[in-house]
Amino acid sequence: MEGETSWVINCFEDSTRGIGEFDSFSELSDEGSKEVNAVSVDLILPDDLLERILACLPVASIFRAGCVCKRWHEIVSSRRFLWNISHVLPQKPWYFMFTSSDEPAGYAYDPILRKWYGIDLPHIKTTNWFIASSCGLVSLMDNDSRSELYVCNPITKRCRKLQESPGLKFPDYSALAISVNRISHDYTVSIVKSKQVPGNFFQWDLSIHVYDSETRMWVTSCTEVLTGWRGGGESVICGGVLYLLIYSAGGGTPESHHGLITYNLSSRSSHGLLIKSFIKVPCPLTCGRLMNLNEKLVMVGGIGKQDRPDIIKGIGIWVLNGKDWQEIARMPHKFFQGFGELDDVFASSGTDNLVYIQSYGAPALLIFDFNQKQWKWSQKCPVTKRFPLQLFSGFCFEPRLEMAP
């Protein structure tokens, strides 16, 4: 695709590349005009020290380093190097943007180097698949039969297909979440399924199904019937607790179109706890997006107008403390206007200390830095909108080489 920075993953896999020649250089000594030959730093650094230096590079630079020579390629491909990377501070999360409504093609944005890379996601067939990420791993589930489920590393392309989850075969709504243990690298995948009770618009069956990578088994943790509320497509796991955004099934006031329920995954209680954990949203929302930022639940929401709560007037960011929401930031009006005609719903995801916000109608990408409390646009994505109904969406993930499903 034109305008992109090429992704150099092929260099990481090319073990036949020969040793490159280093250009020698000369310098004048302080004691006279005698020319002395300098020795390449690469030749005097032991492997363990070179590994530690390379491990501090951005992920994209590590791939390029693997193309320099045979020695560097062997280093960045070694198990010891991956171990070193796991003990280095994590990279800033990338954002993958789907740039086609028909095919799952797109670009990944690196906020460190401020560049876009054209990469391919394994197994995904359409852009409407359910996607969740945690600590370098991404979970993918198809939106048709919802029987195809994978966990993969989008950088290394390592992938594992999970067995089909139990419960309803064709729910009306599904919500996917994944949580990775940063020490053991084991992971938990949860799927929340919602289906209307036949003949009753106000009652919805809701079930929670949890996969444990250590046992490689599914468990149906909870089943319940919600009255006046239904599940949707937004869920996230923070600190062992599953958070699910729920939606009014009718009969409520405009302030109660959204709500939040929680489920402690460690308790595995079978029923009766979900609606008791109900948490109100901070204000009337047009939509809400949940994310885990350093084991804190964060919600990005479209703020509805007072007299027309279904019409967006701004975007806010909140963090949940107990059962109370603390407002962290509101998008400045100049950035809100920068999206052009922003729909009442939009894409947003985040991890670590970055939150990404994107309009479905354009490839503009806005970043909020939680630590610095700063808003800024990403570099322009190398794609243009070709027709009025073209849609854009995306998700963020941590670029980690050492993670494998």
- Residue 69 sits in a domain of what CATH number? 1.20.1280
Shared domain for 55 and 159, answered yes or no, is no
Shared domain for 100 and 77, answered yes or no, is no
Shared domain for 67 and 198, answered yes or no, is no
Banded model confidence at residue 82, pLDDT cuts 50, 70, 90: confident
Domain count, the chain: 2
pTM of the model: 0.85
Shared domain for 69 and 214, answered yes or no, is no
Domain containing residue 52: 43-86
- As a whole number, mean pLDDT of residues 141-158 equals 91
Shared domain for 223 and 342, answered yes or no, is yes
- As a whole number, mean pLDDT of residues 244-264 equals 82
* Residues in Cβ contact with 302 at an 8 Å cutoff, skipping those fewer than 6 apart: 285, 286, 287, 288, 312, 314, 315, 344, 345, 346
Shared domain for 293 and 326, answered yes or no, is yes
Q: Which amino acid is at 88?
A: V
Shared domain for 119 and 235, answered yes or no, is yes
Shared domain for 205 and 330, answered yes or no, is yes
- The CATH number assigned to the domain holding 341 equals 2.120.10.80
Q: What is the pLDDT of residues 84-130, one digit of tens each?
A: 777 776 789 999 999 876 778 889 999 998 999 988 888 888 888 99
Q: What is the pLDDT of residues 168-214, one digit of tens each?
A: 888 999 999 999 998 899 999 999 999 999 988 889 999 999 999 99
DSSP string, 112-180: TTTEEEE---SS--STTSEEEEETTEEEEE-SSSS--EEEE-TTT--EEEEPPPSS-SS-SEEEEEEEE
- According to the model, what pLDDT value does residue 13 have? 43
Shared domain for 215 and 74, answered yes or no, is no
